[in-house]
Amino acid sequence: MIYVARLNAHLRHAKTVLEREVVERQAAQALLLQNEKRLRQIIETEPECVKVHGRDGTILEMNPAGLRLVEAAAPSDVIGISVYQLVAPDYAAAYRSLTQRVFAGAVEKLEFEIISLKDRRLWMETHAAPLTDAHGNVTAILAITRNISAQKRYEQQMRRENRELAHASRLDTVGQLATMLAHELNQPLTAIANYSKGALLRLRNSEGREEVVGAMEHVCAQAERAANIIRSLRGFISRTDEELACISINDVIERALSIAQIEAQAQNVAIECDFARDLPTILGERTQLEQVVLNIVRNGFEAMEHVPASGRKIKVVTSTAGNGMARVCIDDTGPGLCTDELDTLFTPFLTTKQAGMGMGLSICRSIVEAHGGRLSAAQSKAGRGLSFAFELPPSCEQRVMQ
Ligand code: ADP
């Protein structure tokens, strides 16, 4: 009897515990449902595109903002398709490598273009993070993506305007050099005329073939010299947008100095170069970088106007900076600038020259920055004169190798 009563009591207790557990579990489940609903509401109302996709790119989920972004009419337009049906083909490789890195556990960011379901090309920025299961295995990617087309359009517009400005400034430079260029071209042309007359005279007098050949060789060399001047100028003032190319900064400087040399001779300025031979190549626009060098060098010429001719010197040194960038230093032996003047040196429209525009250095800085580098100026370490330095990042392949 006592045994049965005890058993009953145990059973009652067990029932109470069970009932309490059921209630607790129901409450936990309700809380879970409530949390899931809240999370879903957050995702549904999130203004940015939230999407989940698998390793192969199959889209598993996308919120309404995402559907609007890719111009889908209904979730069925995108759920189950591959994300690579939306990513523009030229960005597929970059997106694939982002997916691999995120599946390896990284949180990554990427700017890329998509082609919407209505065939529009749009710029996107995505932040992607791994989604893991209870064991910590990455099962999918959670990506939050926003449309940055307007920002990209603005950047492109700015780049176009900067290019126009840079082109106008190059035309201005060549305009300023016109008299010297005419003089520079006149020399080979006069030489060609003289050698040709000499050759003609010898032919008329039936003189030796050797003399005529010698004169004609001179004609060819002088014609080549004139053609080189024209070629470098034509390249320098061309308006066409250049393709980005892997270029040697030493070559860029040499080409810029071939134009500057004309003025240097006229003003008795000695140009000294010390080029590092193992510099990283730059991914950039040759003409624009030539413009930077030419502008800084010509400013140096003007700054040394009142320096005795024997002391006018421009020194151009290239090296690899500690951060792996290609570094260019251009020093002059002019009067230099005080700290206050240095602070405002790159401000647009600030000039001390009567015919100056004050745009040269500001254009130079935006060109260097558009190449991912930076341009600065300081008092020359040699004691007098100004020292300009700019650093440019190595081209992509070399960055990967480093
Ligand atoms: P601009 O040549 O039309 O004046 P820049 O932007 O090229 O325009 O130069 C702005 C000003 O910076 C110049 O007017 C000059 O006062 C100063 N400057 C530039 N380079 C030097 C230099 N090497 N030494 C001294 N001052 C310089």
Dihedral angle computed from the Cα positions of residues 43, 44, 48 and 50, in that order, rounded to the nearest 10 degrees? 60
Query: Is residue 71 classed as helix, strand or coil in its secondary structure?
Result: coil
* Ligand 1 midpoint to CA 356 (Å): 8
Instruction: Give the Cα separation of 254 and 251 in Å (integer).
Output: 5
**CB of residue 47 inside a 6 A radius of ligand 1:** no
**Confidence (pLDDT) at 239:** 64
- CATH hierarchy code of domain 242-402: 3.30.565.10
Cβ burial, residue 349 (10 Å; 0-12/13-18/19+) = exposed
* Ligand 1 midpoint to CA 299 (Å): 6
Let me know how long the chain is.
402
Indicate which atom in ligand 1 lies nearest the CA of residue 334.
24
- Domain positions in the chain are 1-37, 46-147, 157-240, 242-402
Residue 16: in which H helix or E strand, if any?
Answer: helix 2-45
* Ligand 1 midpoint to CA 351 (Å): 6
**CB of residue 300 inside a 6 A radius of ligand 1:** yes
Common-topology check for domains 157-240 and 242-402: no
* Ligand 1 midpoint to CA 11 (Å): 96
**Confidence (pLDDT) at 266:** 87
Which CATH number fits the domain 157-240, given the four candidates 1.20.1630, 3.30.390, 3.40.50, 1.10.287?
1.10.287
Indicate which atom in ligand 1 lies nearest the CA of residue 385.
24
Topology, domain 46-147 = Beta-Lactamase (3.30.450)
Instruction: Give the Cα separation of 60 and 67 in Å (integer).
Output: 13
Give the 3-state DSSP-derived string for 192-211, with helices as H, strands as E and coil as C: HHHHHHHHHHHHHCCCCHHH
**CB of residue 54 inside a 6 A radius of ligand 1:** no
* Ligand 1 midpoint to CA 378 (Å): 13
In the DSSP assignment, the letter for residue 393 is P
* Ligand 1 midpoint to CA 276 (Å): 27
**CB of residue 352 inside a 6 A radius of ligand 1:** yes
**CB of residue 348 inside a 6 A radius of ligand 1:** no
Instruction: Give the Cα separation of 129 and 50 in Å (integer).
Output: 11
pLDDT of the chain, 402 residues: tens digit per residue: 778 888 888 889 999 999 999 999 999 999 989 988 888 888 888 889 999 999 999 999 999 999 999 999 999 999 999 999 999 999 999 999 999 999 999 999 999 999 999 999 999 999 999 999 999 999 999 999 999 999 999 998 988 888 888 888 888 888 888 888 888 888 889 999 999 999 998 899 887 788 889 889 999 999 998 898 888 788 888 766 677 889 999 999 999 998 898 899 889 999 999 999 999 999 998 889 999 999 999 999 999 999 999 999 999 999 999 889 999 999 999 999 999 999 999 998 889 888 788 889 999 999 999 899 999 999 988 778 999 999 999 986 554 433
> Which residue is closest in CA terms to ligand 1's atom 11?
351
